[in-house]
Amino acid sequence: MHTLVLFAHPQPESLTGSAARMLAAELSAPLGHTAEVADLATEQFDPRFTAADLAAMRGDGTYPDDVRREQQRVERADAVVLVYPVYWWGMPGLLKGWIDRVLNYGWAYGDDAAPGDALTRRDIHLLALAGTDPGTYERHGYAESMRTGIEHGIFEYCGTHVASSHFLYDTEVDAPIPLADTVAAVVTDVLAARYRV
């Protein structure tokens, strides 16, 4: 089994980056599995949706090389884990731009004219690092809003489902953060989802 662990944070050594690398290490340990970490900021992925992206989406051109490389990364994976800090109750612009450019019509989703099903053969897992507490998310409906926008609006639209979704709360407070426990829960879900297939 091969897992792509994708993260978006401007500081590679951030808690987000540490979570991504820890996930990859833990997922590589059992049964000879492999994992690849994609650090979008360090790799300088360009999140801007350009005229070339629009032309490819409309069938009037080919995917730009950087987009095709990212799609090939996804194609090599059995599972994809997105690890990201919560910015304004959603994902960072860098990760949203990756989704806009990579999860294209005719590849990730489509119709009779351009069938796309690349994600339907992969398990999707999410790990959001939240700077505040679970009560804030519950009181204001932020978790449900994110579920609707990300899980339903992106991945279910692409014909797949999110196999697991985790939050690591209180990442901005001066208190112990249960990173290892959260990573262990994600690893358990990644392995369990794949074995159900």
Range(s) of the domain holding residue 39: 2-196
Q: Which of 154, 161, 12, 2 is nearest to 83 (CA)?
A: 12
The whole-number pLDDT of residue 195 equals 52
Q: Report how many domains make up the chain.
A: 1
Whether residue 85 is predicted with pLDDT greater than 80 in this model: the reply is yes
Whether residue 168 is predicted with pLDDT greater than 90 in this model: the reply is yes
- The answer to whether the beta carbons of residues 83 and 127 sit under 8 Å apart is yes
Count CB-CB contacts under 10 A for residue 153.
Answer: 12
Structure tokens at 124: 């999707």
The whole-number pLDDT of residue 193 equals 87
Question: What's the longest Cα–Cα distance across the chain?
Answer: 53
The whole-number pLDDT of residue 130 equals 93
pLDDT tens-place string over residues 6-37: 999 999 999 999 999 999 999 998 678 999 99
Count CB-CB contacts under 10 A for residue 41.
Answer: 18
pLDDT level of residue 49 (50, 70, 90 thresholds): very high
Altogether, the residues listed in the chain come to a count of: 197
The CATH number that applies at residue 128 is: 3.40.50.360
Q: What's the whole-number mean pLDDT along residues 173-180?
A: 83
Q: What's the whole-number mean pLDDT along residues 112-134?
A: 91
Question: What strands lie across the sheet with 79-85, from one edge to the other?
Answer: 34-39, 2-7, 79-85, 123-129, 162-168
DSSP string covering 143-176: HHHHIIIIIIIIIITTT--EEEEEEE--TTSSS-
Work out the angle at residue 47's Cα, subtended by the Cα atoms of residues 43 and 51, and round it to the nearest 5 degrees.
130
pLDDT level of residue 93 (50, 70, 90 thresholds): very high
pLDDT level of residue 197 (50, 70, 90 thresholds): very low
Whether residue 153 is predicted with pLDDT greater than 60 in this model: the reply is yes
